[in-house]
Amino acid sequence: MLAPVLEAAVDQHQGAVVLAKMNVDYERSVPVEAIPAVFGYSRGKVIDQFVGGQPSTKINEFVQGLIDAHKKGK
């Protein structure tokens, strides 16, 4: 249920954000405490994250926050 909302929010920004999915059952190097977990990276560092389903407004704010942080050089 989260994936379509997240994909739509990313698609609205026409390439300003890249969405990558990872299967945590196979990739054990990322410590995930709960699923779904969403991490926002900029310049190789986690700058925001959330766990669990979120309303589309919160997801849109999350994506916009990633874009804004990247523009500021974070």
For residue 31, give the CATH number of its domain: 3.40.30.10
Domain count, the chain: 1
Rounded mean pLDDT of 11-37? Answer: 85
Would you say residue 34 lies in a domain? Answer: yes
pLDDT at 12: 94
Would you say residue 73 lies in a domain? Answer: no
Residue 20: how many CA atoms within 13 Å on its side-chain side?
Answer: 6
Token pair in block for residue 3: 């994936």
Token pair in block for residue 15: 């390439």
Would you say residue 26 lies in a domain? Answer: yes
E strands present in 1-74 = 37-42, 45-51
Would you say residue 21 lies in a domain? Answer: yes
pLDDT in tens, 38-62: 999 998 899 999 999 999 999 999 9
User: Quick check: 64 pLDDT over 90?
Assistant: yes
Q: Is the peptide bond before 36 cis (omega within 30 degrees of 0)?
A: yes
Taken in order 36, 51, 7, 40, is the CA torsion positive or negative? negative
Q: Domain range holding 13?
A: 2-67
